[in-house]
A and B are shown apart, each in its own frame.
Chain A
Amino acid sequence: MEKFFRRNFAGYSFLAPWLVGFFLLAIGPILASLYLSFTKYNVVRPPQWIGWDNYTYMVQFDARFWKALQVTFTFVAVSVPAKLVFALGVAMALDKGIRAIGWYRALFYLPSILGGSIAVAILWRQLFNYDGVINSMLRLFGTDGPYWLADPNYSLWTLIVLAVWQFGSPMLIFLAGLRAIPQELYEAAEIDAAGPVRKFFAITVPLLAPVIFFNLVLQMIEAFKSFSGAFIISGGSGAPLDSLLFFTVYLYNEAFSFLRMGYASALAWVLLLIIAGFTAIAFWTSKYWVHYENERG
């Protein structure tokens, strides 16, 4: 024991800042929220144990909970595939050995760095306002755009566009994956007279599958957790008519507008289980469509 400490003390003391942060700021609050999810807790009074009530209320009586799920699932189901297709397309265009490719990469990656920020969400609101840039441009062509943000039929789509616009990080990963595909496979295919479509589906997609899978899981988790865009654009409430009521926005509202910390904790755990469930499904399906080079066929 003593020997262990003497040998590893320096290592652990360098790790200490991270370890302290991990236990105090991550594990601690996570366990606390698990406990709180079984209580009624309004911050000012001590928590009160109520068993499974939060969870049963959610499923049986809470219409906004189901609405939030519907909005979040729609967002994930549309934005993730759209973003991946877009990212792959741009990556393939950039893979052609263009000059000054570094600049293009940086340029396309930029939105991903900015994307999660409050400033971009506010900018988005300005762009899609009724008197905003988008509608002013439409007016140049003689059409009048709708109220993108105030009309529940359009509001979610503005956020999906915002999400797709942040295609930078999957694009970079795709680009690296494309570079790793041996060129001679394409040459061999060309000798066999395969066209570009055939090459894409017979060579690019199968060999890129591990990278596609990685991007899919990562982007799906990110989409489920998406918060700041919907929060800012809807003014914090999920408006109009709850069309932007992302699960995280609803959770925030329950916690900080209505001070139902216990209920909000329960919501957070439900979101965790949903994300875990979908990630597990993705991994399970992956054995049917993702093949790694070093695995035995």
Chain B
Amino acid sequence: MSQFNRRRFLQTTAGVAALSTFGLPAFAQDKQIRHFWWGNPERDKRTFAAIELYNAKTPGTVVSGESLGFADYFTKLTTQIAGGNMPDVIQQGYGVLFEYIANGAVVPLDDYVGNSLDISRIDQSAIDAGTVDGKFYALSIGANSHMAIYNSRLYEEAGIRVGSNFDPYGYTYDDLKRMAVEIKDATGIPGTDDNTADYQNFSDFTVQKGANLYNEDGSYGPTQEIIEEYWSIWAAIREAGGTPPGQESAGLAGVSELSQLGVVTGKSATSFLWSNQLVGAQGLMQDTLGAAMYPNTPDMIPGSVIQPSQFVCLTRDSQDPEAATAYMSAFINDLEMTKVLGLERGIPSNSEVRAALEPDLSPAEAVSVAFFDAIQGKTAPLTAPPPSGSGEVEQTFERVAVSVLLGEKSIPEVAADFLAQANAILRRA
């Protein structure tokens, strides 16, 4: 056996190092596509299964999936943009997408349409939603709307029945207050989560009052009166005992995890979310969930919109856009893959996929579909995407609303403070 001296050691390690550098491309003859999304356990399970299906039927391409919670997703994406190593295919939401398009991080798909990318069966409305300045950027994976979900068992125990004394698609804040107290009296559990710090509900309420969240010149729409009225409505429900205590809700302000929803933790009977989250929330609990629209004022002016839940987009860092768009195409068109994905990301925008899914929907998915059928004609028109700074305004709302929940300051005071901060943010952005 030859002696293993220092020189010999250096030669060997140098050789190994060289091999590993040159070796990489040899191993990577398959096209590598990275797909990154924000998710929840249910979505991750389905998406990884769909990716496996794709890899099995597409030799020569290897798709790998990466997933994070919503809170961390955009942080990671930002650092990846800075580092120039964004995944090929990323998930985007309706609000933030337009900033990424403006900044050039997301690239147009027009060159691939008709070649690697098939959008022939996608709803025109979905294509329009992903089109900016005549260029097509983003494939909608599903339609979405604001949804109230309720624990049917608790509602029944309180004697609240859909069709007799509860119209899930046309009830008012007063109705909600009455029902919430009835549920509390019958079951001991408060009837609803407290939406004082919930910006989705507040934005719906603004539209219900006939205003817009943002005026055409980009300035902030809600007035002092609207903000005060919104917080007063919820204060009345809270003071009547229809919600968990204010301090409890204060601890949940701005928290977006499904596992923290009142219906999931059992601390209330009604929670509020995006309709595509219903499947994920149902996956976390035993009792059956029902679906309703957000409450409204007696005028019944529609406040919720139907908008694309999420898009898949191609990034400027993609090395192999042909293979990436082929994968994106399969993600929205392939009947086997979309069957695995189901309605978890929203109602699919491909008519053929919708028809194929219909026969074997899970109970929660069936609730989603029924909800979407019922809200047609009861929603507001889709507004222009929010201006930059809107995300910060939303977080500011969630922050200052806590002092309403804790009763630290009067509602008019907090409303004035919020408006001042929102205007400052929009001026700075």
Contacts and interface: CB of A to CB of B under 8 A. Distances in A.
B113 interface: no
Interface of A: 42-45, 61, 130, 146-147, 149-152, 235-237, 239-242, 256-259
A43 B81 contact: yes
A237 B398 CA distance: 10
Instruction: Pick the most buried of B400, B402, B424: most chain A CB atoms within 10 A of its CB.
Output: B402
Nearest to A146: B247
A54 B400 CA distance: 25
Contacts of B103: 42, 44-45
B104 A150 contact: no
Instruction: Pick the most buried of B250, B391, B403: most chain A CB atoms within 10 A of its CB.
Output: B250
A24 to B, nearest CB: 14
Contact of B81 (A44, A61, A258): A44
Instruction: Pick the most buried of A44, A150, A236: most chain B CB atoms within 10 A of its CB.
Output: A150
A292 to B, nearest CB: 46
19 contacts: A43-B81, A44-B81, A44-B103, A44-B104, A45-B103, A61-B424, A149-B251, A150-B251, A150-B406, A151-B247, A151-B250, A152-B406, A237-B254, A237-B395, A237-B399, A256-B78, A257-B75, A257-B392, A258-B392
Given A43-B78, A44-B81, A151 B406 contact: yes
Nearest to A44: B103
A257 B395 contact: yes
A259 B428 CA distance: 13
A31 B145 CA distance: 47
Nearest to B417: A63
Interface in B240-258: 247-248, 250-251, 253-255
A61 to B, nearest CB: 7
Contacts of B24: none
B399 A239 contact: yes
Contacts of B254: 235, 237, 239
B251 to A, nearest CB: 3
Contacts of B253: 239-240
B10 to A, nearest CB: 11
B60 to A, nearest CB: 32
A45 B82 CA distance: 9
Nearest to B400: A241
A258 B400 CA distance: 18
Contact of A147 (B251, B255, B408, B424): B251
B399 A241 contact: yes
B71 interface: yes
Instruction: Pick the most buried of B251, B254, B408: most chain A CB atoms within 10 A of its CB.
Output: B251
A44 B248 CA distance: 38
Contact of A240 (B82, B392, B406): B406
Given A241-B399, A241-B408, A259 B78 contact: yes
A147 B247 contact: yes
A149 B400 CA distance: 16
B127 interface: no
Given A43-B82, A61-B424, A239-B399, A256 B75 contact: yes
Given A152-B408, A240-B253, A241-B406, 17 more contacts: A130-B247, A146-B247, A147-B247, A147-B250, A150-B247, A151-B247, A235-B254, A237-B398, A239-B253, A239-B254, A239-B399, A240-B406, A241-B402, A242-B399, A256-B78, A257-B391, A258-B392
B100 to A, nearest CB: 8
Nearest to A243: B402
B392 A130 contact: no
A265 B81 CA distance: 18
Contacts of A256: 75, 78
B105 interface: yes
Given A236-B71, A257-B395, A150 B250 contact: yes
A44 B105 contact: yes
A241 B251 contact: no
Contacts of A150: 247-248, 250-251, 406
Nearest to A254: B392
A294 B403 CA distance: 57
Contacts of B395: 237, 257
A97 to B, nearest CB: 47
Given A235-B254, A256-B78, A147 B402 contact: no
Interface in B395-429: 395, 398-400, 402-403, 406, 408, 424
Contacts of A151: 247, 250, 406
Given A150-B248, A151-B247, A240 B78 contact: no
